[in-house]
Amino acid sequence: MSMSFRPIARLLVACLILIPAHAAIAQQTDIPRFDIYGGFADFETPYLNLQQQGFHTQIGYNWNRFTAVGFDFSEGTGNNTLTPKVLTPALQQELAGEIGLLEQEGAIPAGYQLMVPTHAFSETYALGPQLTLRHYKRVTFFGHPSIGVIRQRVTPHPADPVATAIVAQLMPAGTKVDYEGFYGVGGGFDWNFARQFSVRAQDDIVYWKLFDGLLAQGTWTNRFAIGVSYHFGKNILAH
């Protein structure tokens, strides 16, 4: 299994750009109880050569200076091209036999390579705790476990008769949907440019295994997101 660290690099670059070198050292003394976030999300799944883009939103409740709890939702769409190498060994062997037989009969050219363009739509749902560091007035750092559920719908678009027949054999309905749990870690920062508003940049790395019986293994997805947070409610530090 491989992972792409480009989103993490983007997060570090965003940190350097958005956090002034002269950020105030004073700790935060005005922390609203609630926050709502919305922004752009970029998903990368290197094993499937899949990149998806979409929307990310969060709702958070600050228990105290150091801990919060929240709900996280994101969705993204993208396209890739699937080949037999990502399928289970049993399916790879079965398809190799079918393709070999067609080659022997002269129905397809020798050396035929099965490739299926595919559209994927993914949704993620997560709920859990978050640790926050509010040592700097203008910057809030945070980290959290990423545990939740992913739902993915894939729709293949075969481009030749052989691929069409194989897709019809594997996916008679023409599309396939699966739900599975995922786990990983995530974190990022808020640049607090006003009491009620901040720019949030974050990155989550999670592992999942969808489409049991089709895909050979689970894989990692890296979600980079950036957007704006709105903070509201009573100052939790006020007495």
* 116 three-state secondary structure: strand
Q: How many domains does the chain have?
A: 1
Q: CA 159, CA 12: separation in Å to the nearest integer?
A: 40
User: For the domain that residue 78 is a member of, what is the CATH number?
Assistant: 2.40.160.20
Q: Which two tokens stand for residue 200?
A: 């949030």
Is residue 1 situated within a structural domain?
no
pLDDT over 70 (residue 1): no
Is residue 70 situated within a structural domain?
yes
Is residue 149 situated within a structural domain?
yes
Residue 187's CB is within 10 A of a number of other CB atoms, namely: 16
Confidence at 27, pLDDT banded by 50, 70, 90: confident
Is residue 65 situated within a structural domain?
yes
181 near 149, Cβ under 8 Å?
A: yes
pLDDT tens, 78-88? 999 999 999 99
Is residue 235 situated within a structural domain?
no
Q: Please give the model's pTM, rounded to 2 decimal places.
A: 0.86
Can you give the residue range of the structural domain that contains 141? 6-230
pLDDT tens, 218-229? 999 999 999 999
Is residue 188 situated within a structural domain?
yes
Is residue 46 situated within a structural domain?
yes
